[in-house]
Chains A and B, each alone.
Chain A
């Protein structure tokens, strides 16, 4: 305990909240194996995830805003041979992602209610194990524990795509698995090298340690590869559309809402504080790749005919804003990035649920098969439009706040980056409006092309279960959009602390690339003032 106390605040609650949040879904999953009635099983899954969400709620209400230390800290001795303990805790960054995870999971159960037609028991088991692993990733304060949860997530997600996926599930699932594994094996090596250097696996202690520049470069590259694949950043994004298209709705929602966030979380937790000098050195390159993600993601989304693929590519663009914000190294950028992670989780998750709902009715994800829905499904269309507006950052919705923060930070730092990323924001509006226009109204030729059977059976509008699922997310869209202050406040102290950590480690002079970037910027400045 002595080695931890300077970095943490022991749990102020009377019960080990984080461990319960991790363990509850696992226990629920194991009990679920003995329930054979599918109907009961569905309610059981909903019950477990809902209780987990309720359990995790005190993380928000009892969160201490005045400290950057890790809160709700728990420690149990585990493997003293390697100085390895079970340590969990949250700070201003991870608490939001934990809450996002526990919020999204009940909705995943709800949206799979009638979507999953076979092997529901196994589906629920995999989903709940997944929830535990995801919460575990965000609360681990120990690199090995982090890695264990990180890898443990891989197998359930693989199964989710491979068992309940679409026609090309085989290809998509193996691509997802191998890509992520490729990233994580280097993560593993750098975790061990960090341990050899410092004799500890404890993340806050690793952040405090100063490393030589060459060592920083190596671990930065290893970490960045792993997280860039997860985010996914251009050019490592190719697994994402495949996985999204083939995954069942719940799988897509988890993938978009939570799994992708782990990449951004990893950058904030590992790359920046542990390798600040290397992060600064590599900043122009990471930003360049982020911009490419934003532009290419948007550009590719523009040409998609498959709704799911379109949203998948839009994810690449949105996550580009996250990495861009992180690597701007200023307060607004990082806050915007974290908020963007949460918002993307809510909005894109909701969009995938929308796609799932329409897929259940028309059995097609093609835009042309799902056009002119406005007449038949007014409620559905209302939700779709709200989430689409949110997706491209319409003022008043959640994404507007985060994208505005990131753009503001970009203009503040280097105007040229701000200009380029604005193109991405415009692209987002273009492809989302194209989607909405075609789906709500009609094709450009004015005729609706439906499946033959849908002519005979008019499409049913949302039932109450679907309305509840989407309504929860709509509440968050407007709540964060109109009143983002509580969330920004939660992350405030942590982000300030993080920026201090980075700037104290960044004593390096400008590299030629930085100098060029600044030159370019001053040129633009002169043009503007002219």
Chain B
């Protein structure tokens, strides 16, 4: 059953086809909503059905294993959450709604395929598929003035193109030295070459640079605040979460090629991680715009994830666990931002004032998200940090962990600012938010997700660990 291997992707492609047809005619919003909800749910089911599948497709460039399936599950669930989060697409121009979903799905398709790609050119292709779709949807924002979203779009595409160029440049080094673009060939030649060939190290780091761009990690982080600020809330929720998950998958694939972590790679990546955490957290302290604040916080979290990734084995599964938690907690924050924000104006911390009186549920969701990001138990953010720091100390990176926990302490300050504003700010208006029943259910789902995955991590971590062992 070859088709079973490709089932989740097929599901996404079918939905894309339907969305394309819908975009040709002037369809009612109700049908579009049904397609979006149904399509994302069906893709989750498709991943679950094909969860245990293993195999290789397309002449060896596309590999289905537990590792890729775990990521596909995270990505499709993330897509469903984002569709639920921005269910009215109130930040997007009315006429573009079906196109918006079309490009969103295309981007997810690219990300999903990225997790299964095991050949350099295929990886590049999928990366571009997901990126180009994203470049297009950023300017879809509904707004009187087009300046900000256009600026964000241009920045994202220019920096994205440069990042791709850097990745390609790195790939050319690797291909030139190893004469292969297949990861399974690389895994044979890499370990011996990396010890005595500095060029391959340069190639690897350059190639990873492109993925760091997606992850918004130092030194490829500078686009994040502006793009977050310019894009609409629902688009930002997407950019802030799913591409990062896929980037983590790719980085793990490449780092696991080295089989043993080498000192040079570790040193370089540790430097990036430290700078990313520190720059992100210190910059976030002074932000007023919540999306900019979350952008800097995501830069900091990319640093924590990277610590896990270069610790190999247990660290990598901790990294996957952490990025899943990051996805959930960020969606919690963006859920609140989406609901209190308007299309025209970005949400600032002052807008949160009195949120508790206007909608206790929104305030609580924000509090859980923010405390989770700050790493306070019993959330998934805490358990993720525990696993990552355990892996890092296991490898003897005491200094790194101390820097990371100090950073976590700094970050608590600005996350607390959000909670303080929501609970104790002096309110300017007391108009309550009316949330529909389904919206409330989503909020509760996110809250329980953050708490339960944090308190009972065993199943998740076990699965992720098996996935990592499969590719090591």
Question: What residues of chain A have their CB less than 8 Å away from a CB belonging to chain B?
Answer: 78-82, 144, 147-148, 151-152, 154-155, 158-159, 162-163, 169-170, 174, 177-178, 181-182, 185-186, 188-189, 192-193, 195-196
Q: Is B416 an interface residue (CB 8 A)?
A: yes
Tell me the complex Cα distance, A148–B462, Å: 21
Query: Which B residues are in CB contact (< 8 Å) with A188?
Result: 386, 389, 405
Query: Which B residues are in CB contact (< 8 Å) with A189?
Result: 389, 393, 398, 401-402, 405
Q: CB within 8 Å of A: which of B410-457?
A: 412-413, 416, 420, 423-424, 456-457
Chain A binding surface, main DSSP class: helix
Query: Which B residues are in CB contact (< 8 Å) with A147?
Result: 377
Residue of B nearest to A80 (CB): B458
Tell me the complex Cα distance, A155–B420, Å: 12
Chain B binding surface, main DSSP class: helix
Give the shortest distance, in Å, between A167 (CB) and chain B (any CB). 13
Find out whether the CB atom of B423 lies under 8 angstroms from the CB atom of A151. no
Give the shortest distance, in Å, between A412 (CB) and chain B (any CB). 40
Q: List 26 A-B contacts (CB under 8 A).
A: A79-B456, A79-B457, A81-B458, A81-B465, A82-B386, A151-B376, A151-B382, A152-B377, A154-B376, A162-B423, A162-B424, A163-B423, A169-B424, A174-B416, A174-B420, A178-B412, A185-B408, A185-B409, A188-B386, A188-B389, A189-B398, A189-B401, A189-B402, A192-B386, A193-B393, A196-B394
Query: Which B residues are in CB contact (< 8 Å) with A174?
Result: 413, 416, 420
Find out whether the CB atom of A81 lies under 8 angstroms from the CB atom of B461. yes
Find out whether the CB atom of A192 lies under 8 angstroms from the CB atom of B377. no
- Number of residues on chain B facing chain A (CB within 8 A): 30
Query: Which A residues are in CB contact (< 8 Å) with B406?
Result: 185
Told that A82-B387, A147-B377, A151-B376 touch, could you supply 12 new A-B pairs with CB distance under 8 A?
A79-B457, A79-B461, A82-B386, A144-B386, A148-B377, A148-B382, A152-B377, A169-B424, A170-B420, A177-B416, A186-B402, A189-B393
Residue of A nearest to B461 (CB): A81
Find out whether the CB atom of A181 lies under 8 angstroms from the CB atom of B409. yes
Question: What residues of chain B have their CB less than 8 Å away from a CB belonging to chain A?
Answer: 371, 376-378, 382, 386-387, 389-390, 393-394, 398, 401-402, 405-406, 408-409, 412-413, 416, 420, 423-424, 456-458, 461-462, 465
Tell me the complex Cα distance, A181–B409, Å: 7
Tell me the complex Cα distance, A398–B240, Å: 58
Give the shortest distance, in Å, between B244 (CB) and chain A (any CB). 24
Give the shortest distance, in Å, between A79 (CB) and chain B (any CB). 5
Give the shortest distance, in Å, between B412 (CB) and chain A (any CB). 5
Find out whether the CB atom of B423 lies under 8 angstroms from the CB atom of A192. no
Find out whether the CB atom of B377 lies under 8 angstroms from the CB atom of A162. no
Q: Among the listed A154, A170, A185, A196, which residue makes an inter-chain contact with B390, where contact means beta carbons less than 8 Å apart?
A: A196
Give the shortest distance, in Å, between A224 (CB) and chain B (any CB). 16
Given contacts A151-B376, A170-B420, contact A193 B409 (CB under 8 A): no
Query: Which B residues are in CB contact (< 8 Å) with A79?
Result: 456-458, 461
Query: Which B residues are in CB contact (< 8 Å) with A158?
Result: 416
Query: Which B residues are in CB contact (< 8 Å) with A196?
Result: 390, 393-394
Find out whether the CB atom of A192 lies under 8 angstroms from the CB atom of B457. no
Find out whether the CB atom of A170 lies under 8 angstroms from the CB atom of B424. yes
Find out whether the CB atom of A195 lies under 8 angstroms from the CB atom of B390. yes
Tell me the complex Cα distance, A358–B18, Å: 71
Query: Which A residues are in CB contact (< 8 Å) with B458?
Result: 78-81
Give the shortest distance, in Å, between A184 (CB) and chain B (any CB). 9
Query: Which B residues are in CB contact (< 8 Å) with A163?
Result: 423-424
Given contacts A80-B458, A81-B458, A144-B386, contact A155 B376 (CB under 8 A): yes
Query: Which B residues are in CB contact (< 8 Å) with A152?
Result: 376-378
Give the shortest distance, in Å, between A107 (CB) and chain B (any CB). 27
Query: Which B residues are in CB contact (< 8 Å) with A78?
Result: 456, 458
Tell me the complex Cα distance, A154–B412, Å: 12
Tell me the complex Cα distance, A192–B405, Å: 12
Query: Which B residues are in CB contact (< 8 Å) with A195?
Result: 390
Tell me the complex Cα distance, A508–B401, Å: 30
Residue of B nearest to A187 (CB): B405
Q: Which 3 A-B pairs have the closest CB atoms?
A: A148-B377, A185-B405, A185-B409
